[in-house]
Structures are given as structure tokens and as C-alpha cells.
């Protein structure tokens, strides 16, 4: 294994260097701050950055929540959405007061990000027609297969259009009353601004985009409309979908009602511009500086997914690959697995409980650090121990439901180190299966960045992911801030773009679109210009060990399928 720390050359302007002398309290007091809120699977996070130096995090806040399996559907109550964003913002404001003696009253910009995909359908009065169906539901197989054939593009089970078409196929009563469809980020954005819009990246998980990544594909929209013309669905699909906007665009302003929703105390004032709402995949790309062609990232959380920015179209659709977009509209090959670190977290919790019974108290971070370090002492192939992390269905592995398992043969070596290495490998295994299609396409990946809580323990998950991908993996210092920081950066980009457009309008006839700095350039020069990135190359022994593990894992998927049939459980 080898590690290399790289630092980008100094590219900041005198103006941006001058910002470094401004105190955080001054930035907050003068409203030169950008706010990002991200609704993840288990935590709603808020992040406040200096709008002129967005690599500087000034305050954070969070709120724990969890999805519920209700009548066979994974969902969140929208009342919990409201409560959660208020709680996260209140925690951020308190953190700002504690750290800097000031809490925000005005903002330079803000943005919302959330779990991508899923199904939120509203009638003409903005009443929710059915409970929110999240990305985790895998009940849309018939619709996804039919649409993939109809549209000539891979339509994953979790995409909004798959959920809509499954409702059409099932003859659900609400279909004829649908006026608006959106994602979770789009819903919160609408509550804050009154605007029905989405960022390009989030929109690409609702319906396929056109070749230049600026809007939904008009030909495919027409094909869908013709296909469902005899159904109860009322009107063209495009009228139901949010408007698509690229990174840097102003997507509305914070209304008085929106400010009160975020901050019932009344301290936060309306009027701040919002960036286009984005999905967590897009904000993960921003948080890892992976928006340029041939760059990529891996995000590990409740789900795990890899994003690779393409420099050319794929030769054919692949069932393992979604073609989505960066927040700037560049095409991205996405390998998404429904199951990430949840099962690993459950095992860590079990070991923490044992430690408590033995009289030792450990925090979650301490337990992860100890157990992940132990994984490094395991055999390269985990000693014949296999761990399946599927708590929900896994389309990449053709599993219709989840049955977490630890399996071994009598000849395997059952040690704590092997068990923990097997669990970490299990987080990456389905992803590695899906990534094969990219290798077959000859897709070039010049650098791969990782982020998520799993990578807080330095060097362990990063090293084993490098083995799973057989490619160098970098983890930046900023990666632990995650998507809430990523959407705060996008908000700061909108604030800067809006200011630049205003200056241009005063001095030139050029349009704002002509004067926009590309997102990749903004990230390189204004956000990651002096970032440290530790890149770990794959260890040959780890790579060979993971390959042996994966071969056994793939063969053992038959056990998983039998377990789904044999063991009763709710729909996943």
C-alpha cells in the first residue's frame, strides 16, 4: 500500500486571500454566509460556510431520523421533514452562537439537498396523494423493465418515473389526480421558495435528460405520453415535472413563510437566493471535487454508490448503471446499491454492547476505530467468512428483499479480524459487481474520491475500497463534512454567480450564461485550491484477497435468494 498527499498550487486571488482575515463573527453578522441543508437517510444535517471562502465551515447542526416500513412501503412522514429541518437549523444556530457569538439573521444564499429518486405526488391543491415512497422501495420491477425497453435507456427501480409508471400499471386511484411530481429536495425547496424546480443532477433521477443535460429528453417524454395515453394519467408528463436548472442558477428566494419554517424564532430574515435543489449524489460529487470528466467518487452511507463523470457516451444501456448528471449537467455513470453501512453499524453496536457488559464504555467513533483497525489484521480474503449486508432488496445483485447473513464453511477461520474484514468487504461487494460494466465499457477513471462516515477512521475503509475497485482512492480532509457542505458550496456558487451576472449586466451586454465560471473551475480555484488529499493505491495482496472474497460472495448469492424465499419478512 502507498499513500500520497497532494496539495494544489496556490490559485487564490488577492481578494479571496483578504477574506481569510475576516472573522467568522463578521461573516455571520454581515450575512456573507451560505447555508446548506441535506436530508439523508438517517440524519438531517445543516452546514454554514463563509460564502466567499466556502471551504471554511463556520457551524453545523443535525437531527436524527429514520425511515419507517408502513404497509410494505419505506417512507418518511412529511411532518417529520418539517420538524427535522427546523431542529437541524436550530442546532446550527446554537453552534454558531457558541463558537462565534453570533447566529445568522441574513444569508448570502442557501440550498437544499436530499435523498434522490423516490415518489412524491401532489394534487392541484398541493395535497400529498400517497405517502412518500423512498428510493429504498423495490416494488417497481415491472414498470422499470417496461420503461427500459420503451425508452431504450436503463430505468432503475428507484427512479421517480418507475414509481409513477408502476402506479399506472397497478391502477392506483390517485393517478388521475396527479398535478405535480417532485423529489424530497424539490419538496423542501418548494416549501422555502414556492418554486417548482430541481437541479440537473436530481432531475436526472426523475426522468432521462437530453444529450446536453439541460432538460428532460423531449423525444422520450413524447414516447412515454403515447405509451400511457389510455391510462388515467392526466396530461403530458412534462407539466407534472419540476423545471430543470443548472448549478449556479438562482432558483428562487427565501420567502417569509420559508424563513419561518426554518426558524420559527423569527431571527432569520427572508430574501436570500437559493441554488437549485440537488440530490445527495450531486452534493457528494461537489464535496469530493469530482465533477470533471474522468473523475469519480464513492459515497458510503445507508446506501453506497459510485459516480464516474463520463467523457463519452456508453456504448449501450446496462442494468447496473444509471446515466445521471452532475449539478452542471455533465453525464455520469452511477452504480447505486441500496445497502451500504447499516448492517456494519448493527454489528458495531452489538460489539459496543458487549464492551458495556464487560465494564468498558466506548463511543461509536471509538468502537468503529477499534473494529476497523482489527479488520486490517484479517486475512486478505477474510479467511472464508462472507458477510451479506442486504437489509433491503438489492437490484445490482438481483435480490428482491433483504436478509442479512454471515456465512462460512467449517474450514474458514472465525476470528474477530476476519469477521470485521468480511463486513467491510460486504459493504463494497455489490458495488464491485456493478462496477464491472464500467470496466467492460473501458471507462477511464483518473481519480476516485470517497466520502461518508465510514471513512472517518483514517486509512482502513479507504484501503479496502481501493482493493475492491483496484484503483487509487483519495479521501480529502473535507470529505467528513458530506453533502450538507456540498450543497452549501453550491449555494455559495449561486451567490457568486448572481453577483457576477449583476456586474456583467452593468458593464456588458453579455448574458449571465456567458459569464458563468464553470462549476469545476470554481471548485478547483475557490474551494479545493489548498486542500490536502491522501490517495491510497491498492495493495496487491488486498486486491487479490478481495477478488477471492468476491468470487465466493457472488456464488453465495444463491444462499441469499433462498433465504428470501425461506424466511418470512415484510416487503423490502
Whether residue 383 is predicted with pLDDT greater than 70 in this model: the reply is yes
Q: What is the pLDDT of residue 532?
A: 64
Q: Does 268 score more than 60 pLDDT? A: yes
Q: Do 571 and 401 contact (CB within 8 A), yes or no?
A: yes
Residue 235 is predicted with a pLDDT of: 81
Angle (CA) 381 387 390, round 5° = 140
Q: What is the pLDDT of residue 20?
A: 58
What domains appear along the chain, each with residue ranges and CATH number?
Answer: 342-478+532-566 (3.30.420.40)
What pLDDT digit, counting tens, does each position of 34-70 carry? 999 999 988 999 999 999 999 999 999 999 999 998 9
pLDDT 10s digits, 296-335: 999 888 889 999 999 999 999 998 999 999 999 999 999 9
CB-side exposure of 563: number of CA atoms within 13 Å? 18
- 399/378 Cα distance (integer angstroms): 28
With beta carbons less than 8 A apart as the criterion, state whether 179 and 188 touch: no
Q: What is the pLDDT of residue 22?
A: 85
Share of the chain above pLDDT 70, in %: 91
Q: Residue 5: what pLDDT?
A: 36
Segment 469-482, tens digit of pLDDT: 998 898 876 555 67
Per-residue pLDDT at 511 exceeds 90: no
Q: What share of the chain is helix, strand, coil (3-state, %, to 5)?
A: 45, 20, 35
CA dihedral sign of residues 461, 464, 469, 472: positive
Query: d(Cα 225, Cα 345) in Å, to the nearest integer?
Result: 44
| pLDDT over 90 percentage in the chain | 78
Specify the DSSP class assigned to residue 231: S
- Of 309, 545, 319, 564, whose CA–CA distance to 428 is shortest? 545
Please give the grid coordinates belonging to residue 392.
Answer: 433491503
At 2, the pLDDT band (50, 70, 90 cuts) reads very low
Q: Give me the mean pLDDT over the 495-510 stretch.
A: 61
| SS3 state of residue 86 | helix
Distance CA 363, CA 278 (A): 32
Give the separation between CA 152 and CA 224, rounded to whole angstroms: 12
pLDDT, residue 475, reads 86
Q: Which of 12-21, 427-436, 446-455, 517-526 has the weakest average pLDDT? A: 12-21
Over 70: is that where the pLDDT of 363 sits? yes
Strand partners, 181: 121
Instruction: Report the range of poorest mean pLDDT among 40-49, 194-203, 516-525.
Output: 516-525
CA atoms within 13 A on the CB side of 77: 7
Most confident region among 192-206, 489-503, 527-541 by mean pLDDT: 192-206
The SS3 of residue 503 is helix
Mean pLDDT of 107-113: 98
**H or E, element range at 300:** strand 295-300
The confidence band for 454, taking pLDDT boundaries of 50, 70 and 90, is: confident
Given this model, what pLDDT does residue 479 score? 52
Handedness of CA 45, 185, 324, 158 (dihedral sign): positive
CA 50 to CA 35: how far, in whole Å? 9
What is the predicted pLDDT for the residue at 517?
A: 80
Strands 109-114 and 278-279: parallel
Report the pLDDT value the prediction gives residue 480, as an integer from 0 to 100.
54
For residue 500, pLDDT beyond 90: no
Give me the phi and psi of 7, to 5 degrees please.
-130, 130
- Is residue 27 scored above 60 in pLDDT? yes
Task: Say what the pLDDT of residue 477 is.
Answer: 64
What mean pLDDT is predicted for residues 102-119? 96
Phi, psi of 447 (to 5 degrees): -155, 145
Q: What is the pLDDT of residue 4?
A: 32
Q: Three-state DSSP class for 7?
A: strand
Mean pLDDT along residues 463-491 = 86
Q: Note the pLDDT of residue 451.
A: 83
Q: Is the predicted pLDDT of residue 155 greater than 80, yes or no?
A: yes
Residue with cell 455533465: 330
Contacts of 358 (CB under 8 A, 6+ apart): none
Helix (H) or strand (E) holding 405: strand 405-408
Which string of DSSP letters, residue by residue, matches 351-399?
Answer: HHHHHHHTT----HHHHHHHHHHHHTTS-TTGGGEEEE--SS-BGGGTB
| Beta carbons of 164 and 139 less than 8 angstroms apart | no
Measured over all CA atoms, what is the biggest interatomic distance in the chain, rounded to whole angstroms? 77
Mean pLDDT, the chain, integer: 90
d(CA 258, CA 192): 4
Q: Cα dihedral angle (503, 508, 510, 516), rounded to 10 degrees? A: -30
Amino acid at each position: 500500500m502507498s499513500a500520497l498527499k497532494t496539495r494544489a498550487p496556490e490559485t487564490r486571488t488577492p481578494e479571496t486571500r483578504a477574506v481569510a482575515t475576516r472573522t467568522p463573527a463578521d461573516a455571520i453578522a454581515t450575512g456573507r454566509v451560505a447555508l446548506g441543508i441535506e436530508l439523508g437517510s438517517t440524519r438531517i444535517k445543516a452546514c454554514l460556510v463563509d460564502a466567499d471562502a466556502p471551504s471554511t465551515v463556520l457551524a453545523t447542526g443535525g437531527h436524527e431520523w429514520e425511515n419507517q416500513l408502513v404497509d410494505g412501503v419505506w417512507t418518511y412522514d412529511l411532518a417529520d421533514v418539517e420538524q427535522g429541518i427546523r431542529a437541524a437549523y436550530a442546532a446550527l444556530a446554537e453552534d454558531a452562537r457558541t463558537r462565534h457569538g453570533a447566529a445568522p439573521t441574513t444569508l448570502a444564499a442557501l440550498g437544499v439537498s436530499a435523498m434522490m429518486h423516490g415518489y412524491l405526488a401532489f394534487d392541484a391543491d398541493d395535497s400529498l396523494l400517497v405517502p412518500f415512497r423512498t428510493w429504498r422501495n423495490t416494488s417497481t420491477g415491472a414498470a422499470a423493465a417496461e420503461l427500459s425497453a420503451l425508452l431504450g435507456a436503463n430505468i432503475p427501480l428507484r427512479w421517480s418515473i418507475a414509481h409513477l409508471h408502476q402506479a399506472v400499471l397497478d391502477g392506483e386511484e390517485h393517478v388521475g389526480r396527479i398535478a405535480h411530481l417532485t423529489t424530497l429536495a424539490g419538496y423542501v425547496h418548494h416549501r422555502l421558495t414556492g418554486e417548482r424546480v430541481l437541479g440537473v443532477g436530481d432531475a436526472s433521477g426523475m426522468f432521462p435528460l437530453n444529450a446536453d443535460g439541460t432538460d428532460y429528453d423531449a423525444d422520450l417524454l413524447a414516447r412515454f405520453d403515447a405509451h400511457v395515453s389510455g391510462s388515467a394519467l392526466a396530461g403530458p408528463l412534462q407539466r407534472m415535472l419540476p423545471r430543470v436548472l443548472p448549478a449556479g442558477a438562482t432558483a428562487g428566494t427565501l420567502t417569509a413563510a420559508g424563513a419561518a419554517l426554518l426558524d420559527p424564532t423569527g431571527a432569520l430574515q427572508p430574501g436570500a437566493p437559493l441554488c437549485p435543489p440537488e440530490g445527495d449524489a450531486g452534493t457528494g460529487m461537489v464535496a469530493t471535487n469530482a465533477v470533471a470528466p474522468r473523475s469519480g467518487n464513492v459515497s458510503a452511507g445507508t446506501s453506497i454508490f459510485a459516480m464516474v463523470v463520463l467523457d463519452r457516451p456508453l456504448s449501450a444501456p446496462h442494468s447496473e448503471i444509471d446515466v445521471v448528471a452532475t449539478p452542471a449537467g455533465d453525464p455520469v455513470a452511477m452504480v447505486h446499491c441500496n445497502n451500504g453501512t447499516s448492517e456494519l453499524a448493527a454489528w458495531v453496536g452489538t460489539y459496543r454492547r458487549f464492551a458495556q457488559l464487560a465494564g468498558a464504555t466506548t463511543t461509536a467513533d471509538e468502537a468503529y476505530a477499534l473494529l476497523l483497525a482489527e479488520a486490517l489484521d484479517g486475512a486478505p480474503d477474510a479467511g472464508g467468512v462472507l458477510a451479506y449486508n442486504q437489509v433491503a432488496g438489492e437490484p445490482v445483485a438481483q435480490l428482491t428483499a433483504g436478509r442479512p447473513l454471515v456465512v462460512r464453511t467449517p474450514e474458514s477461520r472465525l476470528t474477530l479480524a476476519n469477521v470485521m474484514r468480511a463486513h467491510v468487504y460486504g459493504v463494497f461487494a455489490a458495488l464491485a459487481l456493478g462496477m464491472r460494466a464500467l470496466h467492460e465499457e473501458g471507462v477511464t477513471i483518473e481519480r476516485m474520491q470517497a466520502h461518508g462516515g465510514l471513512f472517518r477512521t483514517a486509512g482502513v475503509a479507504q484501503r479496502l475500497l481501493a482493493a475492491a475497485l483496484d484503483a487509487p482512492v483519495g479521501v480529502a480532509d473535507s470529505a467528513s463534512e458530506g453533502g450538507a457542505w456540498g450543497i452549501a458550496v453550491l449555494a455559495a456558487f449561486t451567490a457568486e454567480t448572481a453577483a457576477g451576472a449583476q456586474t456583467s449586466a452593468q458593464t456588458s451586454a453579455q448574458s449571465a450564461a456567458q459569464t458563468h465560471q464553470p462549476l469545476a473551475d470554481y471548485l478547483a480555484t475557490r474551494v479545493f485550491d489548498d486542500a490536502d488529499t491522501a490517495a491510497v493505491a491498492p495493495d496487491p495482496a488486498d486486491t487479490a484477497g478481495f477478488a477471492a472474497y468476491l468470487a465466493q460472495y457472488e456464488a453465495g448469492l444463491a444462499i441469499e435468494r433462498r433465504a428470501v424465499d425461506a424466511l418470512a419478512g415484510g416487503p423490502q
